[in-house]
Structure 1
Amino acid sequence: MTDLKRLITSQKFVRKYVTESFDRRDQFILLEVSDKLVLESKLTDNMARLKELDLQILGIKWSSEENESELMEELEACENYQDKLRSSLFKLQSPVPTIPSPPTPVLPLLKRPTAPLPRYSGQENKDLTKFLSQFEAVINRYEYSDYEKLLLLKQQITGRALVLIDSLESQNQGYSKAKELL
């Protein structure tokens, strides 16, 4: 077997591998990281090997003064295979797309009662019992959960009373626990 035939046979083998890899490039995303690294190494090695084979083959063909159109076809084929390798390497190295998480549902704002709610600042001259009875007279007209009542209460109080309610532990977050605390 002559040198040219041996080189062309080697070139065909590498080109076959390049084409097979190129055809599987959409499946690269499914590979484990270690498999991706091994494949990247193989593709990079084959890129260098194919360049060397292409140069040797083209060198022999140029010296034997073959038809110029055949040489141009060979140059195009060489570039085509290099493009396949580049595309495969790019696909292999591109980050894994993340699946966007579903949007967080926006909770509707708590509908405030139409009647004005009393306010409480926690000052000494303010009566907590009177405030709570006025507050409950308004909110009890609506069907609020214990937690929703707490949210409304927090909007209507300030000062030390608010600090006390904010200190409630998460499992005790409710109007009845807040009322006990006050």
Structure 2
Amino acid sequence: MRFGLLLVLSLMMSVARAGDLSDDQVNNWVSSMPTLQSWLDKHEDQLPKEDMMKKGVASVDEMFTQGIAQLQKAGLYDEFSKLVKTQSFDSVEAWSEVSKKITMAYMAISMEGETIDVKQIEAQIEQLKASALPEEQKQMMENMLQASMNMIKSLGTISAADKEAVRPYLTKITSHFDQDH
């Protein structure tokens, strides 16, 4: 799975709160993503291939931690860090945090007005556990359902300020995410 796509998909699960996003942070992120995504795409073959859903990774923080570890393992962290700094981020970790918050706010805005029943997902997990599917397949599907449930729960924690900081950039963010698929 492409590292950039993995980052985007993984962002849908939870977010650590370290203050609200500013307009400058969102604008800088939107402006920098073509450069950063291009670098990630160019180096994707050098990154370790891991299916994080199979491994049961359950949070955005864990996904980004693993993504950063992949950069380190491939010997690409320092190069990416330099690039991130040219894009006005203090570090890969600072870029990662802003990326998580923007994506979660984007997802929260996208799901406004939709009612998703967490209990329904919990029931699906129970049905899955009782199914006759092979154990590996059950585990992977359970991990995906659990990740979805965690993401839905975490969307309720997104601050109104973060959503309002992201809202003016929805078209550009949507365009970025659409290009990455």
What is the TM-score of this pair, normalised by structure 1?
Answer: 0.25
| Rg larger in structure | 1
In terms of fraction of residues, the more helix-rich structure is 2
Structure having greater relative contact order (Cα 8 Å, sep ≥ 6): 2
